[in-house]
Amino acid sequence: MDLSIIGYDPAGAWIKTADTADELLRYRNPAGITWINVNDPKNTGEISRIADFFHIHPLTVEDIMDTGQRPKIEEFDNYLFIILKALNSGDPPVTEQISLVLMEDTVITFQEIPGDSFDGIRKRILNNAGRIRRMGADYLAYALMDSVVDAYFLVLDALGAGIEDFEERAIDENDTALIPDLQRAKQNLIRVRRVIWPLRESLSVLLRLDSKLINDVLKPFLKDLHDNIIQAVETVENYRELMAGVMEVNLSSVSNRMNGVMKVLTIISTIFIPLTFIVGVYGMNFVFMPELNYPYAYPITWAVMVLIAAGMLFYFKRRRWI
């Protein structure tokens, strides 16, 4: 576990790390905005300490500690509780649970995987970049959610590049690994969708929510975030349709190839089987076979066989098999 605290107001900003919850809470910023970040929230005692301090409901604490939660937004008397899932590139993409508690002047975030997901925001605060220092805790919460959602598009772009690969492989009917690979990609997509889909609903809830914790000034930003999530959902749906298309093209390729194979077999077989029968006839050892002694029997046999072969080829041609 890994605790850090950032305090800021339009005039300045500072960051501190702490080893215990008690140390952390001492650093709290009474005047401006405080952002507490907890990495890898495993230590129940410390988290309960923080929760008690901010009057956070025990069920919220349970949800923070259980990383199998689905994205949701819950309103409590004194805070909003938001769970979302960050996505990191990989095959399959790695899912990370981010819990976010938004209070009047304080935001607490809990990250499942220690890492630098929020480094960009940290820098914007410390360097006073953009409007973040001039806005409230609600804007900080928005900025954190926005950075999580932006990362979805990186993962989606990687998946999209994979689909273009599949489209090229689809017409190669010898690529027997295509379907298992495609299936794996589909399952990655299902995984991604499970992360993004519930967020759409949560954001709608957040937009309709009439909470005193969210300033009217923030509404256009949340609408924008909602639009981004809808775009991510639509991209996922689009990828699913493209993947289904890859499957169909491949099935049709394989079936076309099969057809070609069958046709060659049929043509060769149907031409030579009767001819082989004819030569078999004159290979019989009967004593009384008048044809065998006719001087022109051999060339006549050849002529008959050529005629049969030509007739068959003509028939195939007419039925447009060759």
What one-character-per-residue DSSP string does 230-268 give?
HHHHHHHHHHHHHHHHHHHHHHHHHHHHHHHHHHHHHHH
Is 108 exposed, middle or buried (CB count within 10 Å of its CB: 0-12, 13-18, 19+)?
buried
Distance CA 119, CA 116 (A): 5
Restricting to residues 124-153, name those near a copy of itself by CB under 8 A: none
Closest contact distance (angstroms) between CB of 44 and a copy of itself is 15
The count of chain residues that interact with a copy of itself, using the rule CB under 8 A, is 84
Q: Which positions from 67 to 106 touch a copy of itself by CB under 8 A, shown as an x/- string?
A: -xxx-x-x-x------------------------------
Binding of a copy of itself at residue 212 (CB under 8 A)?
no
Cβ-proximal residues to 83 (8 Å cutoff; 6+ apart), any chain: 63, 69, 70, 71, 72, 73, 97, 98, 99, 100
Closest by alpha carbon to 98, among 118, 83, 120? 83
Kindly tell me which of 49 and 186 has the beta carbon lying closer to a copy of itself: 186
Restricting to residues 214-233, name those near a copy of itself by CB under 8 A: 220-221, 223-224, 227, 230-231
> Residue written as tokens 């850090």?
4
Closest contact distance (angstroms) between CB of 30 and a copy of itself is 29
Q: Return the residue of 11, 30, 161, 176 that touches a copy of itself, per CB under 8 A.
A: 176
Binding of a copy of itself at residue 158 (CB under 8 A)?
no
Closest contact distance (angstroms) between CB of 290 and a copy of itself is 8
Distance CA 145, CA 85 (A): 10
Cβ-proximal residues to 240 (8 Å cutoff; 6+ apart), any chain: 186, 189
Tokens, residue 308: 């049969």
Q: Which positions from 23 to 62 touch a copy of itself by CB under 8 A, shown as an x/- string?
A: ----------------------------------x-x--x
How far is residue 91 from each of residues 158, 160, 170, 184, 229, measured CA to CA in Å?
10, 13, 21, 9, 22
Q: Residues 293, 294, 295, 301: what is their CA dihedral angle, to the nearest 10 degrees?
A: -110
Closest contact distance (angstroms) between CB of 9 and a copy of itself is 21
Binding segment (CB under 8 A) for a copy of itself, from list 6-14, 85-93, 98-106, 177-185: 177-185
Kindly tell me which of 24 and 229 has the beta carbon lying closer to a copy of itself: 229
Restricting to residues 249-308, name those near a copy of itself by CB under 8 A: 249, 251-266, 268-270, 272-277, 279-289, 291-298, 301
Binding of a copy of itself at residue 179 (CB under 8 A)?
yes
Closest contact distance (angstroms) between CB of 10 and a copy of itself is 18
